[in-house]
């Protein structure tokens, strides 16, 4: 449950990142787009205005030129108003002053020159650079007086511009004309000068007005005649239109820029930015998704690690449960002091120590399995099991270790794991120690033969060694986790420090020795992490329970004369001064009892034995007739001298002195056991 909500949370977080990023990008793009649009529009307007003014100027220049030409021709005509031929020359001259292909004419009121007919219009036209054609074009068919330019030129006292019109007579182009009156000497208007100009002459205009490749322009006259028409394609589209009036002619100019043309580049950039934005967002989504997925993987692997860690903890607990934990381990053997512990490293390891007693012998071992983790702990469990198996019937350490090695070197050991092991068998009565060391650190104070570790080579012959553990002497076993414990500077604790610490703690109990050592290592190591299991195990004999010195025996014949030797023998056992006499007395009574009654009429032997530990156990054995002295009734010690029987005091005294008295008949022998606690 926890995992999935966490995962959804991660996805939701990712979604938010994508949405916010998309919104931010969109907002930035919109602002940039509209800002750019306004800037472009503004720039286009500026440019259109500039171009329109240039066009206006161009038209004005031509207009002024034409007006000037018209006025000049009118002036010439007024000078030669009476000479019709000079009028021709005047028009020719006027045309020649102009570079443009124009046509200039002077049209007189009807019948002004009667000899020349009713209509007289002198006209010169330039068709090419070199050729000016002059003629009289007035006639009945070409009645100029009916024409707009003539009528308006006649009545206006200034230049009058007519509406543009298609010149069907000559150039077949749109033509504009300008009229100006001609007066006689009396000031009366007698003729009208007309100057035509093809709009082809205004071809420079397109240079100005065609501001964009796909933009349009139009020019209309003041009355609405289209000089340059708006093309049909303009209809139904969105445009930006800029306008300008031409002062001289009253013309109206427009520059028409289609929206798509104006913002073509912007839209192009916009499309690129849009695509980049989508790619960016896609990448962001991908990153967020991937991050979410790896986050999920992390959560999963964390959970998996936790589960493994949990299982390792269980393994660790099981492993620790295999180690001895009860100290002192054998209440029945108070003379044996032993204490051991494993200080586990973080990881499951393969340290082991174990021991048990069989037939008054302590079988013990300490071992370190190579490597760490579960494999090492499994081998450790196996080693412990083998230790118990082989020590249950074998007494020789070398034989036990050899068998263990063969078992560990078998087919099961594919991992080539090996075990260093020290195994000892300590006779608790004598302190005699037999041991076999399989590549382990030598316990203090022993010296060891460097045998191979277990699991290296099957069939290896292990060498056995012997030593004697004196009373009060401590045998200290350890694994390399002790001497190789490292501090933060990677210095090792080392054997020297270990031996020094052991010397300091020498007089302390086995448990205190190990606690002191643990503290010394902890102080040395400081903050550094413990990398290996640290196992320590100490064994000491406090006071031998059944040593040979305390096992005494005395063989006597059934002769009362031998009784004094009993006193010497008891002296030899050595016991507290105050017990000497009572023990002597009790034994004498018991032994003399046997001497006197066990072998009636013949000779026999009495065996007296003593086992001394925390108590004195005497056994008196004879092969005589069955006789149980414990059945004898006690005398009444309160009786008067007269009443008291002479005998019967012996067994009474034994019972008084000893803590316990037992009789048994076994193998045709009488065995009397007397026990006195010390």
Partner 1 sequence: MKVNLVNEGEQLVAQLSGRLDTAAAVEIAPDFQTLAEQASKHIILDCSQLEYISSSGLRLFLSLRKESAAKGGKLQVRAINADIRQVFMMTGFISLFDII
Where on the chain is the footprint of partner 1 (CB under 8 A)? Answer: 560-564, 567, 581-582, 584-585, 588-589, 592, 595, 637-642, 644, 646-647, 649-650, 652-653, 656-657
Closer by beta carbon to partner 1, 270 or else 582: 582
Nearest approach in angstroms of CB 465 to partner 1 is 50
- Between 410 and 564, whose beta carbon lies closer to partner 1? 564
**CB 559, min distance to partner 1, A:** 9
To the nearest whole angstrom, how small is the minimum distance from the Cβ of residue 660 to partner 1?
17
Contact between 373 and 533 (Cβ < 8 Å): no
Which residues are CB-neighbours of 479 under 8 A, at least 6 positions away? 351, 366, 367, 368, 440, 441, 532, 533, 534, 535
Residue placing its CB nearer to partner 1 in the complex, 443 or 650: 650
CB of 570 to partner 1, least distance (A): 11
Of 410, 422, 428, which Cα lies nearest the Cα of 464?
422
The H-or-E segment that residue 472 falls in is none
Backbone phi and psi for residue 520, each to the nearest 5 degrees, phi listed first = -65, -45
As measured in angstroms, the least distance from the Cβ of 592 to partner 1 is 4
Rounded least distance, CB 654 to partner 1, Å: 10
Please give the backbone phi and psi of residue 473, each rounded to the nearest 5 degrees, phi first: -80, 145
What does the block give as tokens for 60?
Answer: 């004005």
Pair 514, 498: CB distance under 8 Å: no
Q: Which two tokens stand for residue 121?
A: 């219009």
Q: Is 307 helix (H, G, I), strand (E, B) or coil?
A: helix
Tokens standing for 378?
Answer: 């499994």
Closest CA to 255 of 527, 49, 538: 49
- Work out how close the CB of 581 gets to partner 1 at its nearest, in angstroms, rounded to a whole number: 4
Residue 652 or 663: the one with the smaller Cβ distance to partner 1 is 652
How far is the C-alpha of 517 from the C-alpha of 497, rounded, in Å?
A: 10
- The least distance separating partner 1 from the CB of residue 610, rounded to whole angstroms, comes to 18
Nearest to 479 by CA among 375, 351, 378: 351
Rounded CA gap, 526 and 528, in Å? Answer: 6
Q: How far apart are CA 424 and CA 463, in angstroms?
A: 12
First to last CA, the chain: 71
Q: Which long-range contacts (CB under 8 A, 24 or more apart) does 600-608 make?
A: 600/625, 603/557, 603/558, 603/559, 604/557, 604/558, 605/555, 605/556, 605/557, 605/558, 606/555, 606/556, 606/557, 606/558, 607/553, 607/554, 607/555, 607/556, 608/553, 608/554, 608/555, 608/556, 608/566, 608/569
Nearest residue (CB) to partner 1, 368 versus 589? 589
Q: Least distance to partner 1 from the beta carbon of 647, Å?
A: 7
- d(Cα 545, Cα 337) in Å, to the nearest integer? 12
Q: Which residues pair with 122 in a beta bridge?
A: 106, 136
Cβ proximity of 296 and 304 under 8 Å: no
The nearer residue to partner 1, 514 or 595, going by C-beta atoms, is 595
DSSP secondary structure code for residue 105 in this structure: E
Closest approach, Cβ 676 to partner 1, in A, equals 15
Nearer to partner 1, 452 or 567 (CB): 567
For tokens 């020359």, what's the residue? 89
Q: How far is the CB of 585 from partner 1 (least distance, A)?
A: 6
Question: In the complex with partner 1, which residue's Cβ is closer, 224 or 647?
Answer: 647
Q: Count Cα atoms within 13 angstroms, Cβ side, for 226.
A: 7
Nearer to partner 1, 503 or 641 (CB): 641
Of the two residues 382 and 590, which places its CB atom closer to partner 1 in the complex? 590
Min dist CB 639 to partner 1, Å, is 8
Backbone angle region of 108, left / alpha / beta, with phi > 0 → left and psi within -120 to 50 → alpha: beta
The count of C-alpha atoms lying within 13 angstroms of the C-alpha of 530, restricted to the half-sphere facing its C-beta, is 21
Q: Which of 235, 633 has the CB closer to partner 1? A: 633
Buried b / exposed e along 475-502 (16+ C-beta atoms within 10 A): bbbbbbbbbebbeeeeeebeeebbeebb
Question: Which is closer to partner 1, CB of 147 or CB of 658?
Answer: 658
Residue closer to partner 1 (CB basis): 138 or 650: 650
The beta strands (E) that lie in 67-188 are given as 102-108, 121-126, 132-136, 160-161, 165-166, 174-183
Token pair listed for 492: 């090792």
CB of 496 to partner 1, least distance (A): 57
Contact 124, 108 (CB under 8 A): no
Considering the complex, what minimum distance in angstroms separates the CB of residue 590 from partner 1? 11
Q: Which is nearer to partner 1, 454 or 556 (CB)?
A: 556
Taking the complex as a whole, the smallest distance from the CB of residue 635 to partner 1 amounts, in Å, to 8
The phi, psi pair for 527, rounded to 5°, reads: -85, -5
C-beta of 398 vs 658, nearer to partner 1: 658
- Whether 168 and 183 have beta carbons less than 8 Å apart is answered as no
Complex with partner 1: residue 340 or 650, whichever CB lies closer: 650
The Cα–Cα gap between 69 and 63 comes to 10
Q: What are phi and psi of 350, to 5 degrees?
A: -130, 35
Q: Which is nearer to partner 1, 107 or 651 (CB)?
A: 651
Q: How far is the CB of 650 from partner 1 (least distance, A)?
A: 4
CB of 644 to partner 1, least distance (A): 6
């Amino acid at each position: 449950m926890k995992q999935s909500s966490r995962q959804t949370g991660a996805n939701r977080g990712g979604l938010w990142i994508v949405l916010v990023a998309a919104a931010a990008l969109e907002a930035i793009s919109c602002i940039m787009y509209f800002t750019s649009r306004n800037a472009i529009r503004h720039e286009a307007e500026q440019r259109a205005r500039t171009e329109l003014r240039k066009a206006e100027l161009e038209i004005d220049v031509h207009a002024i030129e034409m007006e000037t030409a018209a006025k000049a021709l009118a002036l010439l005509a007024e000078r030669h108003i009476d000479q019709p031929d000079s009028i021709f020359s005047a028009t020719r001259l006027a045309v020649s002053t102009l570079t443009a292909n124009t046509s200039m004419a002077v049209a007189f009121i009807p019948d002004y020159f009667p000899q020349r007919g009713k209509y007289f219009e002198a006209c010169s036209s330039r068709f090419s650079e070199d050729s000016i054609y002059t003629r009289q074009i007035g006639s009945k068919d070409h009645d100029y007086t009916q024409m707009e330019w003539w009528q308006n030129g006649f009545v206006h006292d200034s230049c009058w511009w007519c509406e543009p019109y298609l010149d069907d007579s000559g150039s077949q182009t749109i033509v504009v004309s300008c009229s100006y009156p001609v007066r006689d000497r009396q000031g009366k208007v007698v003729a009208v000068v007309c100057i035509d100009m093809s709009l082809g002459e205004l071809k420079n205009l397109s240079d100005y007005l065609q501001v964009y490749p796909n933009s349009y322009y139009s020019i209309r006259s003041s009355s609405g005649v289209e000089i340059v028409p708006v093309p049909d394609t303009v209809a139904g589209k969105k445009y930006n239109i800029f306008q300008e009036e031409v002062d001289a002619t009253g013309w109206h100019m427009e520059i028409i820029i289609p929206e798509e043309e104006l913002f073509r580049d912007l839209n192009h950039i916009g499309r690129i930015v849009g695509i980049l934005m989508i790619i960016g967002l896609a990448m962001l989504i991908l990153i967020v998704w991937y991050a979410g997925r790896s986050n999920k993987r992390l959560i999963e692997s964390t959970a998996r690690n936790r589960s493994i860690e949990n299982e390792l903890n269980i393994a660790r607990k099981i492993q620790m449960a295999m180690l001895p934990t009860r100290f002192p381990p054998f209440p029945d053997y108070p003379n044996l002091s032993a204490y051991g512990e494993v200080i586990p490293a973080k990881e499951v390891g393969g340290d082991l120590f174990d021991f048990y007693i069989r037939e008054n012998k302590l079988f013990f071992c300490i071992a370190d399995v190579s490597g760490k983790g579960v494999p090492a702990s499994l081998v450790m469990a196996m080693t412990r099991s083998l230790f118990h198996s082989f020590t249950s019937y074998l007494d020789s350490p070398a034989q036990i270790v050899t068998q263990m090695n063969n078992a560990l070197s078998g087919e099961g050991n594919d991992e080539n794991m090996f075990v260093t092991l020290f195994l000892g068998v300590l006779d608790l009565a004598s302190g005699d120690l037999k041991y076999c060391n399989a590549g382990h650190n030598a316990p203090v104070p022993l010296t060891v033969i460097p045998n191979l570790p277990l699991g290296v080579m099957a069939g290896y012959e292990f060498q056995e060694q012997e030593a004697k553990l004196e009373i009060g002497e401590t045998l200290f076993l350890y694994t390399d986790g002790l001497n190789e414990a490292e501090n933060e500077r990677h210095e090792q604790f080392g054997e020297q420090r270990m031996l020094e610490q052991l010397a300091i703690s020498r007089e302390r109990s086995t448990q205190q020795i190990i606690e002191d050592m643990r503290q010394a290592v902890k102080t040395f190591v400081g903050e550094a992490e413990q990398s290996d299991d640290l196992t320590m195990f100490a064994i000491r004999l406090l006071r031998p329970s059944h040593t040979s010195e305390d096992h005494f025996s005395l063989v006597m014949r059934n002769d009362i004369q031998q009784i004094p030797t009993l006193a010497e023998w008891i002296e030899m056992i050595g016991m507290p001064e105050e017990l000497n006499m009572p023990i002597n007395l009790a034994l004498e009574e018991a032994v003399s009892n046997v001497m006197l009654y066990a072998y009636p009429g013949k000779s026999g032997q009495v065996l007296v034995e003593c086992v001394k530990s925390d108590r004195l156990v005497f056994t008196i054995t004879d092969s005589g007739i069955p006789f149980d002295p414990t059945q004898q009734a006690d005398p009444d010690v309160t009786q008067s001298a007269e009443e008291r029987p002479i005998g019967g005091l012996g067994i009474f005294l034994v019972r008084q002195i000893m803590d316990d008295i037992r009789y048994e008949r076994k193998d045709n022998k009488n065995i009397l056991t007397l026990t006195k606690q010390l």
